[in-house]
Amino acid sequence: MSQYDVIIIGAGPGGYVSAVRCAQLGLKTAIVEGRETLGGTCLNVGCIPSKALLHATHMLHEAEHNFAGMGLKAKAPTVDWAQMKSYKDDVVSQNTGGVEFLMKKNKIDWLKGWATIPAAGKVTVGDTTYDTKNIVIASGSVPSTLPGVEVDNDKGVVVDSTGALVLGKVPKKMVVIGAGVIGLELGSVYQRLGAEVTVVEYMDAVCPGMDKDVQRTFKRILEKQGLKFIMGAAVQGVDATKTKAKVKYQPKKGGDEEVLDADVVLVATGRKPYAEGLGLDALGVKMTERGQIAVDGHWATSVKGIYAIGDVIEGPMLAHKAEDEGMAVADVLAGNHGHVNYGVIPGVVYTTPEVATVGQTEDALKAAGHKIKVGKFSFMGNARAKAIGQADGFVKIIADKETDRVLGAAIIGPAAGDMIHEICVAMEFGASAQDIALTCHAHPTYSEAVREAALACGDGPIHA
Ligand code: NAI
């Protein structure tokens, strides 16, 4: 008899959420994690610590730039970087401790160490091999770098997102390679801490793939905050000494190679799936061309009894996408119908202002020949956003021209990352823009801007 119904490999948001749901559904569950703490990249070195730093530095920005105007007269605070990092570490340990509590509460065994899979139905951790009916691989992803760029987080000169959370001091000059989510979030943190931050991006717009309107507004706002951008530039390599670096880039439009000096270079050019050491080759687990574990519609790999979820399979590398897959695969293993609606997965950038998107973009729909209408509402018409000095931004809702069904949305503005869920729920229910427009929204809230954008899909917004 198997010791476990399921062993989950990796305790990030995909893995630990899956473990909890498996246990709730009555499966005897274990989770393997080699880190000292649970929670994976997200809790330990990703989403959570970066949000702590974003919060602390946003407070600093408010004190430096907006307190006096609100009648709060005081000297601008000085930054105790060591204390800020310890605050961040405390936030992390509260959360990783919370996951450990959840494992105990749900009677999930934590098998400490790095797993290998010697055969289907078997997982080895250290010297022990466990029998299990099913295996769920949730081993996540790691930062990917560029040819000619060697990341060394210990030296702290050329770092990835993990190294950027523990820099010895705030650099004077930082170069960020890549204007994606990580580059802009962590670039904002260091810009607010006083670094001169230059972001070098290969494409002509920030956050490739995002709504074009949002890309333009987002870049303009970040520039106003002090971030510098060099767009259309391909980084060719970085030469680093113990304390400094030179970033070489080639403008796409042609011309000579250019060089930027930096005290710290943050490489934020994407992440790649991580499944090393599991022994998948020997097992014959099929991979995609992009190095992800190939799965079917039920997250089953090509080897019976082995499943995979999260960053290690295809799709956006987002904690909440992994969580949804984790719950759904648990349902599959328990004999239920597991389902993830990949058309309604929000994406959020936690800068100030926040940026949030869901569904399809205006450009993609137009390119596909879909007849649409676009309702847009500026936060300039939203009293609450004005009250906190964050009226720069807008809500945009895209609906089918004939049926009025909501197909997508983009928000740039205060609390965008929370407000987007109203639209997610509407989309899950197949709602029309009018359904949102006819729903009473409390005044004064930022959410009124969502209603106004929905009204803009019909007879028009009130406050514009
Ligand atoms: P990304 O894929 O979002 O952005 C990477 C950027 O680097 C792209 O804009 C790309 O054009 C640029 N780039 C690539 N090669 C370049 C070169 N040689 N020179 C100049 N620019 C170059 O990747 P990022 O920001 O590293 O994030 C990794 C993953 O983590 C993403 O999938 C992201 O969704 C996820 N993540 C999500 C967060 C969130 O939801 N808030 C926060 C942090 C990460």
Which entry of 65, 298, 337, 443 is annotated as an active-site residue?
Answer: 443
Residue in the structure block whose two tokens are 């000085």: 78
Residues 111 and 234 in one domain: no
Active site residue 443: yes
Residues 95 and 27 in one domain: yes
Residues 306 and 245 in one domain: no
Binding site residue list for FAD: 51, 311, 317-320
Residues 434 and 351 in one domain: yes
Which ligand 1 atom is the nearest neighbour of the CA of 350?
A: 41
Residues 10 and 132 in one domain: yes
Could you list the beta-strand ranges (E) of 59-187.
109-112, 115-119, 122-125, 128-137, 141-143, 158-159, 173-177
How confident is the prediction for the chain on average, in pLDDT? 97
Task: Identify the domain containing residue 436 by its residue range.
Answer: 347-456
Q: What distances in angstroms separate CA 101 from CA 16, 38, 42, 108, 321, one per listed residue?
A: 11, 10, 17, 10, 23
- Sequence length of the chain is 464
Residue ID of nearest Cα to ligand 1 atom 28: 270
Q: Is the pLDDT of residue 358 over 80?
A: yes
The single-letter code of the amino acid at 296 is D
pLDDT band for 2, please (50, 70, 90 cuts).
confident
| Gap between the Cα atoms of 309 and 301, Å rounded | 10
At 224-237, the pLDDT tens digits run 999 999 999 999 99
Residues 243 and 282 in one domain: no
Domain-embedded: residue 151: no
Which ligand 1 atom is the nearest neighbour of the CA of 347?
A: 40
Q: Is the pLDDT of residue 1 over 90?
A: no
Which ligand 1 atom is the nearest neighbour of the CA of 178?
A: 7
pLDDT of residue 198: 98
| Gap between the Cα atoms of 259 and 459, Å rounded | 53
| Gap between the Cα atoms of 415 and 354, Å rounded | 6
Share of the chain above pLDDT 90, in %: 98
Q: Is the pLDDT of residue 251 over 70?
A: yes
pLDDT of residue 177: 98
At 402-447, the pLDDT tens digits run 999 999 999 999 999 999 999 999 999 999 999 999 999 999 999 9
**Boundary (domain end) residue, out of 250, 269, 288:** 269
Domain-embedded: residue 150: no
pTM of the model: 0.97
Cβ atoms of residues 313 and 292 within 8 Å: yes
Q: Is the pLDDT of residue 453 over 80?
A: yes
User: What distance in angstroms lies between residue 14's CA and the mean position of ligand 1's atoms?
Assistant: 20
Domain-embedded: residue 392: yes
pLDDT of residue 460: 98
CA torsion 115→118→119→122, rounded to 10°?
-50
Residues 316 and 388 in one domain: no
User: What distance in angstroms lies between residue 209's CA and the mean position of ligand 1's atoms?
Assistant: 11
Using the CB atoms, write b or e for 427-459: b if 16+ within 10 Å.
Answer: beeebbbbebbeeebeeebbbbbbbbbbbbbbe
Share of the chain above pLDDT 70, in %: 100
**Boundary (domain end) residue, out of 217, 242, 269:** 269
Domain-embedded: residue 411: yes
| Gap between the Cα atoms of 135 and 191, Å rounded | 44
Which ligand 1 atom is the nearest neighbour of the CA of 46?
A: 43
Residues 19 and 134 in one domain: yes
Binding site residue list: 51, 178-185, 201, 270, 311, 317-320
Residues 297 and 206 in one domain: no
Cβ atoms of residues 29 and 23 within 8 Å: yes
Which ligand 1 atom is the nearest neighbour of the CA of 311?
A: 32
Cβ atoms of residues 307 and 7 within 8 Å: no
Q: What is the mean pLDDT of residues 136-142?
A: 98
Domain-embedded: residue 83: yes
Domain-embedded: residue 462: no
Residue ID of nearest Cα to ligand 1 atom 24: 270
Q: What is the CATH number of the domain that holds 190?
A: 3.50.50.60
- Residue 186: count of CB within 10 angstroms of its CB: 24
Q: Which residues pair with 245 in a beta bridge?
A: 240, 262
Residue ID of nearest Cα to ligand 1 atom 38: 181
Residue 357: closest CA among 425, 409, 310: 409
Domain-embedded: residue 463: no
Residues 305 and 187 in one domain: no
Q: Which residues pair with 413 in a beta bridge?
A: 354
Residues 123 and 177 in one domain: no
Residue ID of nearest Cα to ligand 1 atom 14: 269
User: What distance in angstroms lies between residue 184's CA and the mean position of ligand 1's atoms?
Assistant: 9
User: Ligand 1 pocket check: which of 47, 257, 271 to mutate, most ligand atoms within 8 Å of Cβ?
Assistant: 271
Residue ID of nearest Cα to ligand 1 atom 5: 269
User: What distance in angstroms lies between residue 2's CA and the mean position of ligand 1's atoms?
Assistant: 41
Enumerate residues lining ligand 1, CB below 6 A.
Answer: 146, 177-183, 185, 200-203, 208, 234-235, 268-271, 316-318, 348-350
At 28-57, the pLDDT tens digits run 999 999 999 999 999 999 999 999 999 999
Residue ID of nearest Cα to ligand 1 atom 16: 202
Residues 108 and 227 in one domain: no
At 376-390, the pLDDT tens digits run 999 999 999 999 999
Residues whose CB falls within 8 Å of the CB of residue 269, separated by 6 or more in sequence, listed in order = 144, 145, 146, 177, 178, 180, 235
| Gap between the Cα atoms of 325 and 310, Å rounded | 7
Binding site residue list for NAD(+): 178-185, 201, 270
Domain-embedded: residue 152: no
pLDDT band for 220, please (50, 70, 90 cuts).
very high
User: What distance in angstroms lies between residue 202's CA and the mean position of ligand 1's atoms?
Assistant: 11
Element (H, E) at 424: helix 416-428
Number of domains in the chain: 3
| Gap between the Cα atoms of 392 and 406, Å rounded | 24
pLDDT of residue 76: 84
Q: What is the CATH number of the domain that holds 386?
A: 3.30.390.30
Residue in the structure block whose two tokens are 């993609």: 364
At 198-217, the pLDDT tens digits run 999 999 999 999 999 999 99
Q: Is the pLDDT of residue 283 over 70?
A: yes
User: What distance in angstroms lies between residue 175's CA and the mean position of ligand 1's atoms?
Assistant: 15
3-state secondary structure of 21: helix
**Boundary (domain end) residue, out of 305, 333, 361:** 333
